[in-house]
Amino acid sequence: MASEIVNPGNELVDAGIDPAFALHRGGKMAVAATVPLRDTDDLSLAYTPGVARVCDAIAEQPDLVHEYTWKSQVVAVVTDGSAVLGLGDIGPEASLPVMEGKAILFKQFGGVDAVPIALDCRDPDELVETVARLAPSFGGVNLEDISAPRCFEIERKLQERLNIPVFHDDQHGTAVVTLAALRNAARLTGRLLGDLRVVISGAGAAGVAIAKILLGAGVGDVVVCDRKGIVEQGRADLTDVKRELAGLTNRDGLTGSLADALDGADVFVGVSGGTVPESAVAKMAPGAFIFAMANPDPEIHPEVAARYASVVATGRSDYPNQINNVLAFPGIFSGALSVRATRITEGMKLAAAEALAAVVADELTPSRVIPSPFDERVAPAVAAAVAQAAREEGVARA
C-alpha cells in the first residue's frame, strides 16, 4: 500500500486512503482579486491606463507604495528546504506544501497575506542576495525551515540590508510562545521567573532563541545542552553561535550531560528530539515544568512528565498546552505591518509573549497555561502589543 500513498496520482489516494493527498491536490492557496473586473471601465482603472497614474505617483513619492499596493500587508515565506519540520533536508520542491501551509496560517489567524517562496540555493550569501532582490514586493520576510547555523547568518545579513522586518519563525516564534507558557506556569504556581533554572535540550535555532528570550525576560539561569552535553565555555568544540551562548548561560559553570544539568532544575524545555531517561526527570526539582516539544515524539512522554511536573506542555495538538508557533507569528507580523515597522526587536518579541500569556492569565489551570490556536483573542492581542512596542522602540514608520 505504500506506493499507493506515495503516488498522489493514484486513484486509491483520491478514494480516501490518505486524505492528506486529497486536501493538497492542486495546492492549498490561490490569488484572488480584491477589485471587480466587470467591464472595460473597471479594466481601465485596474490596469492601463489608470494604473500608470498610480505608478507615476509612487515613482515620485516611494512611500505611497504602502498605500496603493498590497506591500504593507504581505509577507514572503522563504525557505531553502534544508530543515523542514521533522523531515530534515528535503529540498525546496518538497518543502512547498509546508510553505503553503504557513501562508494560509498567516491569513487565517492574522489576516496577513503571504507568498511561499522556495529557493534552490544553499549558499547563505546567495540566499540573502536573492531575497534582498525580491524584497521590494513585500512588507516583511518570514524565514522558515532553514538549517542552523546558516539560519543565524542569513537572518542577520538580511535584516542589515533590508528596511522591513525579517523574522526566522523557527527561532523567534518558538521562543515567544515558550516564554508565554513559562510566564503563566510561574503565575499559576506562585513562582518568579528570576528564581527558575531552565534546562534547554537543543542548541539549534529554537534552543538558542529560547535561551536568549528567557534571559531577556529575567529568568534566573538557563543551561543549554546539545548532543555532547552542557554547552559551557570549557568546551573546545563549540561553534561561534554556541560559544556566544556559553558566555550568556550556565551561571554556575555546570559541566557534563543533560542528566547532570537536570539535577535540581526547575524547568525542562525540549527542542531536540531523542528521549530523556525517566531517571533524569526524577531528579528535577519538585513541581517542575516540563515543556517537551519535539514532534511527533516528545523528549519526555507526557504520561512520564506528569509523574514529576506540575505543568506539562508539548508541541502536539492532542495534549494540553500545545506550544505552537501559530500563536505568535500571525499576530507579530500583523502588528509589525500595521505600523510599517523596519524590524522586529527583542522588545517587540517580549511584548508579544506577555500579551499572549495575558490572554489566559485569568483562566489558568495546569492544563491551560497557553491559549488554543483557535482562540480568536490571540492575534489581535499580540498584534496590538507588538505595534505599541514598535512605536516605543522607534522602529515604526506609521
C-alpha cell recorded at residue 19 = 486524505
Mean pLDDT (whole number) for 270-283: 95
The side-by-side arrangement of strands in the sheet containing 288-292 is 229-230, 221-226, 197-201, 267-270, 288-292, 309-314
Mean pLDDT of the residues in the chain: 94
Mean pLDDT (whole number) for 150-158: 96
Q: Tell me: the pLDDT tens digits for 293-304?
A: 998 899 999 999
pLDDT for the residue numbered 253: 96
> Is 145 known to sit in a ligand binding site?
yes
pLDDT for the residue numbered 18: 85
Read off the DSSP letter of residue 320: S
Question: Is the model's pLDDT at 344 over the cut of 60?
Answer: yes
Widest distance between CA atoms in the chain: 75
pLDDT band of 4, cuts 50, 70, 90: very low
pLDDT for the residue numbered 11: 55
Instruction: Please report, for the chain, the start and end positions of each structural domain, with discontinuous segments joined by +.
Output: 70-164, 170-398
SS3 278: helix
> Is 321 known to sit in a ligand binding site?
no
The active-site residue, picked from 28, 68, 71, 102, is 102
Question: Is the model's pLDDT at 1 over the cut of 50?
Answer: no
Q: Tell me: the pLDDT tens digits for 233-247?
A: 999 999 999 999 999
Question: Is the model's pLDDT at 10 over the cut of 90?
Answer: no
What CATH code is assigned to 170-398? 3.40.50.720
Smallest CA-to-CA distance from 311 within 343, 335, 289, 339 is with 289
Domain 70-164 in this protein, CATH class? alpha beta
> Is 250 known to sit in a ligand binding site?
no
> For this structure, is 319 an active site residue?
no
Q: How far apart are CA 298 and CA 282, in angstroms?
A: 17
Mean pLDDT (whole number) for 247-272: 97
**Whole-model pTM?**
0.93
Q: Tell me: the pLDDT tens digits for 171-208?
A: 999 999 999 999 999 999 999 999 999 999 999 999 99
Mean pLDDT (whole number) for 369-373: 96
Contact 299, 275 (CB under 8 A): yes
Give percent above pLDDT 70 in the chain: 96
Q: Position of cell 508565554?
A: 180
Question: Is the model's pLDDT at 329 over the cut of 50?
Answer: yes
Q: Tell me: the pLDDT tens digits for 32-81?
A: 999 999 999 999 999 999 999 999 999 999 999 999 999 999 999 999 99
DSSP string, 321-379: SB--GGGTHHHHHHHHHHTT-S---HHHHHHHHHHHHHHTTTS-BTTBSS--TT-TTHH
Question: Is the model's pLDDT at 9 over the cut of 70?
Answer: no
The active-site residue, picked from 47, 68, 107, 228, is 47
> For this structure, is 47 an active site residue?
yes
pLDDT for the residue numbered 172: 97
pLDDT for the residue numbered 13: 52
Q: How far apart are CA 159 and CA 142, in angstroms?
A: 11
